[in-house]
């Protein structure tokens, strides 16, 4: 089960705009000079006034704990959280923010690191690049955007890590285009791949890195991959103590389990944060999350979005 994180009422200490409808928000603690430590790849949960929770990667320097920096892209077609933050949050405002959590850590490895970011997916990748750069480790960051004028955090990126490791690819500049299939066709010895970006980018990188060995490819998605459009079917959950919990077609496994009296923490309820993760003992789950690795899918389950056929026995 995902562990709970302390929630702090942070103050918006600074706001500035970046290209591509992105607003960078700096958050400080009201009383404490230092915030909890974080590793590159970490995100925080931002708690919105309507009770919703949204995850944002920390894109600042993990060595500077006087502030957390998040970048919010205004998505008018999204679920409303980012639009609310973009439109309503002003300097001095108070935002409830969880301590950081990391589902996208840099692995200890001696080999080269390949970082791929598409658009706003630069946020966790930027924090990783800052740390790799400081440690003097070999890495290459490929940043894909529609054009230079629409690429968020580009200046910060250029100032923080320099040109040596940075490769920029803009759709409107033919000489910068990069064929990712070619980029990933041969895996350099010992290399690790990390990528983050919008849905189409995620799907493309997943496809062309399929031949990389298990454990060498790491990613973070903003939303689960486009799902099959089959209608959800009812199924049945059995708890460890034998309690039978029917899950109707129009209800999530998470809400059915909670209604049965099990205290289960959850956060995004969209299959990306991993807070409600639990184990399953028997059955055929239909995984619809964007958190679990292929290995984990054999015994773990994300009840906020995933379903099952027939009977699923959970380790709860």
Find the helix packing angle between 122-135 and 154-161, rounded to 10°.
10
Q: Is 105 in the site for other proteins (CB under 8 A)?
A: no
Q: Is 230 in the site for other proteins (CB under 8 A)?
A: no
Smallest separation (angstroms) from other proteins to the CB of 29: 9
As a dihedral over the C-alpha atoms of residue 118, residue 121, residue 122, residue 126, rounded to 10 degrees, the angle is -140
Give the number of residues in contact with other proteins, rule: CB under 8 A.
Answer: 10
Binding window for other proteins (CB under 8 A); candidates: 2-10, 61-69, 109-117, 288-296 = 2-10
Binding window for other proteins (CB under 8 A); candidates: 5-13, 52-60, 105-113, 186-194 = 5-13
Q: Is 6 in the site for other proteins (CB under 8 A)?
A: yes
DSSP 145: E
User: Between 8 and 24, whose beta carbon lies closer to other proteins?
Assistant: 8
User: Between 7 and 83, whose beta carbon lies closer to other proteins?
Assistant: 7
Residue partners of 112: CB distance under 8 A and separation at least 6: 138, 139, 140, 188, 190, 191, 192
Q: Is 49 in the site for other proteins (CB under 8 A)?
A: no
Q: Is 7 in the site for other proteins (CB under 8 A)?
A: yes
Q: Is 275 in the site for other proteins (CB under 8 A)?
A: no
Q: Is 98 in the site for other proteins (CB under 8 A)?
A: yes
DSSP 82: H
Measured CA to CA, the distance from residue 134 to residue 142 in angstroms comes to 18
Phi/psi for 125 (5° steps) reads -65, -35
User: Between 100 and 224, whose beta carbon lies closer to other proteins?
Assistant: 100
Binding window for other proteins (CB under 8 A); candidates: 4-12, 77-85, 121-129, 196-204 = 4-12
User: Between 101 and 142, whose beta carbon lies closer to other proteins?
Assistant: 101
| Residue of 91, 47, 97 lying closest to 68 (CA atoms) | 97
Identify the three-state secondary structure at position 244. Answer: strand
CA-to-CA separations, 199 to 101, 149, 156, in angstroms, rounded: 22, 21, 24
Q: Is 4 in the site for other proteins (CB under 8 A)?
A: yes
Binding site for other proteins (CB under 8 A): 3-9, 96, 98, 263
């Amino acid at each position: 089960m995902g562990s709970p994180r302390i929630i702090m009422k942070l103050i918006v200490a600074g706001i500035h705009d970046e290209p591509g409808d992105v607003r960078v928000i700096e958050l400080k603690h009201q009383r404490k000079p230092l915030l909890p430590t974080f590793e590159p790849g970490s995100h925080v949960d931002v708690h919105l006034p309507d009770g919703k929770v949204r995850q944002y990667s920390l894109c600042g320097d993990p060595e500077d704990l006087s502030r957390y920096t998040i970048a919010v892209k205004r998505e008018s077609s999204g679920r409303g959280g980012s639009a609310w933050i973009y439109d309503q949050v002003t300097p001095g405002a108070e935002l409830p923010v969880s301590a950081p959590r990391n589902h996208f850590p840099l692995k200890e490895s001696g080999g080269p690191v390949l970082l791929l970011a598409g658009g706003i997916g630069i946020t966790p990748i930027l924090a990783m690049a800052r740390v790799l750069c400081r440690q003097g480790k070999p890495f290459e960051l490929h940043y894909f955007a529609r054009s230079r004028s629409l690429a968020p955090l580009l200046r910060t990126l250029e100032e923080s890590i320099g040109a040596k490791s940075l490769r920029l690819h803009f759709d409107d500049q033919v000489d910068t285009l990069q064929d990712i299939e070619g980029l990933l066709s041969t895996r350099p010895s010992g290399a690790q791949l990390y990528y983050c970006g919008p849905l189409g980018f995620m799907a493309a990188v997943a496809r062309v890195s399929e031949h990389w060995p298990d454990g060498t490819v790491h990613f973070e998605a903003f939303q689960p991959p486009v799902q099959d459009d089959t209608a959800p079917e009812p199924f049945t959950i059995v708890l460890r103590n034998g309690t039978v919990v029917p899950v109707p077609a129009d209800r999530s496994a998470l809400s059915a389990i909670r209604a049965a009296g099990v205290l289960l923490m959850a956060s995004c309820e969209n299959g990306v944060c991993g807070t409600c993760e639990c184990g399953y003992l028997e059955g055929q789950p239909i995984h619809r999350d964007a958190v679990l690795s292929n290995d984990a899918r054999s015994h773990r389950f994300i009840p906020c979005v995933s379903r099952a056929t027939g009977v699923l026995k959970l380790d709860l």
